[in-house]
Structure 1
Amino acid sequence: MREYSESLQALLPPQARQYRTLRIVFIKPSQYDDDGYVIRFWKGVLPSNTLSVLRGLTEDVERRGVLGDIAIRLDTFDEVAQKVPVRQIMRWSRQSDTKLVVCLVGVQTPQFPRALDFGKQFRAHGIDVIVGGFHTSGTVNMLGDQDPDIQELYRQSIVVVAGEVEGHWGEILTDVLNGQLKPLYSFADDLKNLVDIADAPLPVTSPKTMKHFARPNFGTVETSRGCPFSCSFCTIINVQGRMMRERSPEAIAELIRRNYRERGINFYFLTDDNFARKKLWRETFEAIITLRGEGINITFMMQVDLARKPKDFVRLAAEAGCSQVFVGLESVNPENLKSQGKGQNKVEEYVNAIHEWHEAGVVVHAAYIIGLPFDTKEQVGRDIQYLTEVIQPDQASFFMLTPLPGSEDHREMRARGEWMDPDLNKRDSFHATTTHPHMTAEEWTAAYQGAWRAFYSKENMVNILARWRHNPWMYWNLINVYLWYKNAALIEKQHPMVAGFFRLKDRLARRPGYAIDPIPVHLWKRTKEVCRLFVAWARFIKEMEEIWLQTRPRSEREIRFFDEAQRIQGEIWQTLRIPEWQKAYSDAKTALPAKVRALLDPFEELPSKMLLSRHDLNTFLERWGDLQSKIQALHRSWMWGEGPAKKWLEHLYALHRDTWQGIKVREWQEVYSEIQGQPPSRLDRLYARYDALSNRIVCSRQDLRRFWGRTREHLSGLRFWQIQFSGLAVTCFKELLLTTAFARSLFASIRRKSARMPQP
């Protein structure tokens, strides 16, 4: 393994000495959407680690004087959240004493078309362009530089970098200044002899770039590179190798300490492909634990495999501040796993592995591939149900199996001449780009989208959050994640890992070959899109309010009070045989005349009323007695003849008569007077309801939804006189109160996170 080293001084010829400044523009390209627009958001979520790594390498080159007395100026742009100022960059290139180079970095396969278009623009103005990332590295390593993509870069005089540039970056920058750039810099020919990163310069985050992201206190760092496994769909092992190479624990600790004190970074995504296979995992965790002893309380997420962990791995990870692990489940079908060389995954061990993380207080994020060889549309649905009900990860990201250049799958498919979509922009793991043996492209896409809908359904999110309500910090962290993920996948229609918040569309930033819409046309299209987006957001917020109502954390005293009230109300409901009454009335509604339904409908919501006090009990019994009187009066004055309606009414009357005689009012009143615990909040009083079928108290928007449903029916039927305007005012007030309460709780959780963030 080669050690990291570069000469301290570069011999610069006269051509280079005409420059006083080397200006390096790092651009992390985005990709195009299906309509040809560049995908960009108002706020990004996951910042690019490559930008930070290259910034650190460049500052190291300047610090060591590799380029002599030539100053280096850096500009970084992450296009997923920043507009790249192409014209301004071109103006920079015209400064006489400045040498400008544009580096298109971290380019993955779906971003390659956008990177190529950038390169053509800059080369047309004589600007040097360098492109690197997993696409060029994987292509050169697995297919050679005769591949059409690499040849196209050569034709455009765009410099290609394959592999890692630690130990070589100063050499490349020297060639930039000397005007001696080579067509190809390949540093990964021997995957068993890659550069040792133990003492490589540490990444440096750009505060200017991070202002465009939702969490400026978010940092990324790779503590190691490589992965010992041999999954056939993976490109990592063919670019970074299968031998683990690591930064020293001391270097990681120094990076965290510096970022915490200078920039307030207290959350990290450790981008190692497989942290669990590091040799120095224990030392790294212990170094971070030591930092926590200094008051540097960071949290982090990391990627690990599902193979058996070393002893104490999970415990030490949690002690170090790990809040989430990203695990490659890939499938719950053993045949699928075997077909992809994923032998380290044992489906029968999934539940215990995830349970171990849960016991340590760590959220589990599962990566899952749709479209493996043994998948069918129906089987995918069953597998996702098994995933949610049995495996029970807390978060999931779904991907469509995609042959990426640099993977064994891609090389073998190409050798066999199998069809692959030639548009690399679609090789993003959420388009069908190959022929599947059991599904059409439409079925495959439907199965993929169905997986997102099933996992992020209201029911599954309720179940997950209910498991974490004992941990408010993790609970609210998951709420924030669900807001991000469901919005991205099911509303913005982008994969969450490349998405942000609120999609932006630059009219002029469109893929070559697509027409540029006139301004009025573009504005009209965007207006309709934004209106639809806001409507979808409103529905989504209401769904999240419902989830919050059902799962929100409560104190022990509140829980004790609810349990006792629930027990008493269950006894009352059984005595009054309310579940039977509900079923009988539901069956009778269709047979009863409209006038009779109008008399009884107000009582339909009565069985769901929650009784939390003696006053609630007395009010309920009074209304229940009124119902008895109405049914009795209807029974006596029935005038609609014999038939099913009369039989149902007689059944309702008999039920009410028999149960009313057996009530124990005084006993119930005394019990309510003795309930211990903390009385429920005003929020619970407004939105709590009793579910007679499950015999439990739930907080829900169900009554509000029922009211809006009836109101819509009246409006669509032009029955304006049937709209309850007093109820409309009350319902609007309840909606406003609920939204305000949810927003306050959400922002309070964000403020609590920010309060843990030090001031730089």
Structure 2
Amino acid sequence: MKVLLVNPEFPETYWSFRHALPFEGKRSVFPPLSLMTVSSLLPKKVERRLVDLNVQSLKKSHLEWADMVFITGMLAQKKSLHEVVKQATALGKKIVLGGPYVTSTIEELPHADHIFQGEAETTLPEFFTDLDRGEAKRVYKALERPPMSISPTPDFDIVDLKRYSCMSVQYSRGCPFSCEFCDIIEIYGRVPRTKSNHQILTEFDELNRRGWRGPVFIVDDNFIGNKKNVRQLMPELVDWQKRHGHPFSLLTEASLNLADDDELLNNMRDAGFRRVFLGIETPVEESLVEAQKPQNRGNLLESVKKIQSYGMEVMGGFIVGFDNDPEDIFERQIEFIRESAIPLAMVGMLNALPDTQLWRRLEREGRLLGEDATGNNTISTLNFVTKMDPARLIAGYEGIMKTIYKPRAYYQRALDSLKRTATETKEPTPYNLLDEIKLGVIDGERKEFWRFFIQALRKHHDRMTESLRLAAMGYHFRKLNDSYDTVNSET
């Protein structure tokens, strides 16, 4: 049997970094970890190939080769997913769908011979057993969430590592918190499950053996969700990095209460964590209460500064559109982002994702507009009736984006972040200094770039590659804003 694994294309989003990648000579940020894991779950007798539409086109010959086409996808990938299904169906191929979009959407799914809902570590082997018996079902859904101990090492050989900016591994699934708008706890549960230390370090070994050097993203939605297990992992991770000469710089996502744990912060610094994404959401206490985020109480600004003091650049997620947002929410978000020195700030409008607590509350209140979310909260769309006037909300949101990604404002945050995240450990990086300097030629805001370049060279001369990475990211966000402005003006 021949199985073609297809990862649909992502649209331009905060996380795509599409406009920054050319300076690095890469096609996409992350490889499709979910399909690499699925590949490792396939029976050995199955021939398999993977096509990632974020780095290459799907050709007719790819589909003609296959007996079955496995397609995954997140909500943001749904448009591309539907197109892949259409092409494969036209050639009479068996279609197998899975992933977060398939699991949680309220929309009618495209044609599929088999559908997998939830995690596949137990259901995929069951499917192939049924298939051999001629008894394959249309829908497979795990009766319970599988332990991470049975999740295999991803198939790193099925992708061309050189096409990607960053490698991905997963340590845990689930989050102990109960944020109202979050779908992670609905899909993966509130009891974080982790891999063993041996499992995750084996994945590090595999990447190291293949010659990967540079960033590795631990993709957990909350890396510190199971603090007990993380504390047991960290000494071994620190030791692994030391023994191998620190080949990887690490980044992950965590809850803001990371700032409360000095020992963990110290271990993360020693292990080579250089960036962490925090769901800060809002500086407004009433909106945090509404969102059910008790982990974000206290002095948020000081928490960010503390994490930065351990050498970790903070990336932040922010939301406007809560019921309790005051009229000056937009100015307060801008001020907080500036004072916290967060260069990469993902600001979005609140959207109700299917089957979340927020979705269910709005449904009870009769406020849903009957539309699924787009999966991209950085565009000016709403799928529920907001308390604030929608026109005011959209205009305020767009004002935030235009303000924080103005070149001078962005570059100043980048310089402030570099100052706060000083570290003695040099970060392994694939960036080419000459490629990055091209930004000073092609960018219409090149005057601000050179102003930033000179200041970075004077104050952070030992971190110039990192400085130029931040410059390329700023260029991406400005181009992203420009594209959204074009779309909004046309609609």
In the superposition, relative to structure 1, how do residues 208 and 391 fare at CA in structure 2: closer, same or farther (>3 Å)?
Answer: closer
Deviation of 1:321 (Å): 0.6
Contact 2:352 2:373 (8 Å CA) reproduced: no
Equivalent-residue separation in structure 2 for 1:300 and 1:384 (angstroms): 28
1:320 to 268, 271, 295: 271
Which secondary structure does the structure 2 equivalent of 1:263 belong to? coil
> For residue 52 of structure 1, what is the aligned residue in structure 2?
36
In the superposition, relative to structure 1, how do residues 176 and 362 fare at CA in structure 2: closer, same or farther (>3 Å)?
Answer: same
Contact 1:292 1:320 (8 Å CA) reproduced: yes
In the superposition, relative to structure 1, how do residues 553 and 114 fare at CA in structure 2: closer, same or farther (>3 Å)?
Answer: same
Contact 1:27 1:102 (8 Å CA) reproduced: yes
Amino acid at match of 2:449: M
> For residue 287 of structure 1, what is the aligned residue in structure 2?
236
> For residue 23 of structure 1, what is the aligned residue in structure 2?
2
> For residue 77 of structure 1, what is the aligned residue in structure 2?
51
In the superposition, relative to structure 1, how do residues 209 and 452 fare at CA in structure 2: closer, same or farther (>3 Å)?
Answer: farther
> For residue 455 of structure 2, what is the aligned residue in structure 1?
550
Which sections of structure 1, spanning at least 5 residues, go unmatched?
1-21, 63-70, 94-99, 140-146, 485-533, 557-741, 751-760
Deviation of 1:207 (Å): 6.2
1:224 pairs with 2:172: yes
> For residue 262 of structure 1, what is the aligned residue in structure 2?
210
Equivalent-residue separation in structure 1 for 2:213 and 2:268 (angstroms): 19
Deviation of 1:175 (Å): 3.9
Which secondary structure does the structure 2 equivalent of 1:291 belong to? helix
Contact 2:348 2:378 (8 Å CA) reproduced: yes
Contact 2:178 2:292 (8 Å CA) reproduced: yes
Contact 1:238 1:407 (8 Å CA) reproduced: yes
Equivalent-residue separation in structure 1 for 2:201 and 2:10 (angstroms): 35
Deviates further, 357-366 or 45-54: 45-54
Equivalent-residue separation in structure 2 for 1:164 and 1:130 (angstroms): 14
Equivalent-residue separation in structure 2 for 1:445 and 1:536 (angstroms): 33
Amino acid at match of 2:82: L
Equivalent-residue separation in structure 1 for 2:441 and 2:388 (angstroms): 33
Contact 1:104 1:131 (8 Å CA) reproduced: yes
1:538 pairs with 2:487: no
In the superposition, relative to structure 1, how do residues 436 and 27 fare at CA in structure 2: closer, same or farther (>3 Å)?
Answer: same
> For residue 304 of structure 1, what is the aligned residue in structure 2?
254
> For residue 449 of structure 1, what is the aligned residue in structure 2?
398
Looking at CA atoms only, which structure, 1 or 2, has the larger radius of gyration? 1
Contact 1:399 1:430 (8 Å CA) reproduced: yes
Deviation of 1:266 (Å): 3.9
In the superposition, relative to structure 1, how do residues 72 and 130 fare at CA in structure 2: closer, same or farther (>3 Å)?
Answer: same
Q: What's the Cα RMSD here?
A: 3.6
> For residue 168 of structure 1, what is the aligned residue in structure 2?
123
Deviation of 1:413 (Å): 2.8
Contact 2:341 2:417 (8 Å CA) reproduced: no
Deviation of 1:433 (Å): 2.2
Please give the per-residue CA displacement for 1:114-162, whole angstroms capped at 9, x wherever unaligned: 32332233223321111111122234xxxxxxx552xx44xx3442211
Amino acid at match of 2:91: H
Equivalent-residue separation in structure 2 for 1:428 and 1:179 (angstroms): 43
Deviation of 1:296 (Å): 4.0
Amino acid at match of 2:355: G
2:330 to 364, 370, 381: 381
Which secondary structure does the structure 2 equivalent of 1:326 belong to? strand
Please give the per-residue CA displacement for 1:276-307, whole angstroms capped at 9, x wherever unaligned: 12231122211111112212412111111112
Amino acid at match of 2:52: D
Percent same amino acid among aligned pairs? 20
TM-score norm. by structure 2 comes to 0.81
1:101 pairs with 2:68: yes
1:204 to 145, 148, 155: 155
Of structures 1 and 2, the one scoring higher in RCO (CA 8 A, sep 6+) is 2
TM-score norm. by structure 1 comes to 0.54
Deviation of 1:196 (Å): 0.8
Which sections of structure 2, spanning at least 5 residues, go unmatched?
473-491
Equivalent-residue separation in structure 2 for 1:464 and 1:474 (angstroms): 19
2:302 to 347, 352, 355: 352
In the superposition, relative to structure 1, how do residues 210 and 258 fare at CA in structure 2: closer, same or farther (>3 Å)?
Answer: closer
In the superposition, relative to structure 1, how do residues 45 and 468 fare at CA in structure 2: closer, same or farther (>3 Å)?
Answer: same
Contact 1:325 1:364 (8 Å CA) reproduced: yes
> For residue 124 of structure 1, what is the aligned residue in structure 2?
90
Deviates further, 352-361 or 330-339: 352-361
In the superposition, relative to structure 1, how do residues 30 and 229 fare at CA in structure 2: closer, same or farther (>3 Å)?
Answer: same
Deviation of 1:394 (Å): 4.2
Deviation of 1:28 (Å): 1.7
Deviation of 1:424 (Å): 5.3
Deviation of 1:397 (Å): 1.2
Contact 2:287 2:323 (8 Å CA) reproduced: yes
Amino acid at match of 2:399: G
Which secondary structure does the structure 2 equivalent of 1:24 belong to? strand
Please give the per-residue CA displacement for 1:500-534, whole angstroms capped at 9, x wherever unaligned: xxxxxxxxxxxxxxxxxxxxxxxxxxxxxxxxxx9
Contact 1:113 1:424 (8 Å CA) reproduced: no
In the superposition, relative to structure 1, how do residues 312 and 113 fare at CA in structure 2: closer, same or farther (>3 Å)?
Answer: same
Please give the per-residue CA displacement for 1:32-82, whole angstroms capped at 9, x wherever unaligned: 689xxxx99972123332122223323xx32xxxxxxxx322222222332
Please give the per-residue CA displacement for 1:303-360, whole angstroms capped at 9, x wherever unaligned: 11112644501000101110011111011111111111112211x3212222221221
In the superposition, relative to structure 1, how do residues 90 and 295 fare at CA in structure 2: closer, same or farther (>3 Å)?
Answer: closer
In the superposition, relative to structure 1, how do residues 205 and 428 fare at CA in structure 2: closer, same or farther (>3 Å)?
Answer: farther
1:410 pairs with 2:347: no
> For residue 682 of structure 1, what is the aligned residue in structure 2?
none
Which secondary structure does the structure 2 equivalent of 1:454 belong to? helix
Equivalent-residue separation in structure 1 for 2:396 and 2:365 (angstroms): 27
In the superposition, relative to structure 1, how do residues 447 and 477 fare at CA in structure 2: closer, same or farther (>3 Å)?
Answer: farther
Contact 1:57 1:202 (8 Å CA) reproduced: no
> For residue 437 of structure 1, what is the aligned residue in structure 2?
387
In the superposition, relative to structure 1, how do residues 31 and 255 fare at CA in structure 2: closer, same or farther (>3 Å)?
Answer: closer
> For residue 412 of structure 2, what is the aligned residue in structure 1?
462
1:371 pairs with 2:344: no
Deviates further, 304-313 or 363-372: 304-313
> For residue 489 of structure 2, what is the aligned residue in structure 1?
none
1:186 pairs with 2:141: yes
Deviation of 1:176 (Å): 4.5
Please give the per-residue CA displacement for 1:615-644, whole angstroms capped at 9, x wherever unaligned: xxxxxxxxxxxxxxxxxxxxxxxxxxxxxx
Equivalent-residue separation in structure 2 for 1:269 and 1:426 (angstroms): 21
Equivalent-residue separation in structure 2 for 1:178 and 1:212 (angstroms): 39
Amino acid at match of 2:279: G
**Number of positions where the alignment pairs a residue of Structure 1 with one of Structure 2:** 450
Amino acid at match of 1:162: Q
Contact 2:301 2:336 (8 Å CA) reproduced: no
> For residue 482 of structure 2, what is the aligned residue in structure 1?
none
Which secondary structure does the structure 1 equivalent of 2:353 belong to? coil
Which secondary structure does the structure 2 equivalent of 1:277 belong to? coil
Deviation of 1:225 (Å): 0.7
Contact 2:280 2:318 (8 Å CA) reproduced: yes
> For residue 274 of structure 1, what is the aligned residue in structure 2?
222
Equivalent-residue separation in structure 2 for 1:240 and 1:83 (angstroms): 31
Contact 2:440 2:449 (8 Å CA) reproduced: no
Equivalent-residue separation in structure 2 for 1:271 and 1:471 (angstroms): 24
Which secondary structure does the structure 1 equivalent of 2:294 belong to? coil
Contact 1:30 1:79 (8 Å CA) reproduced: yes
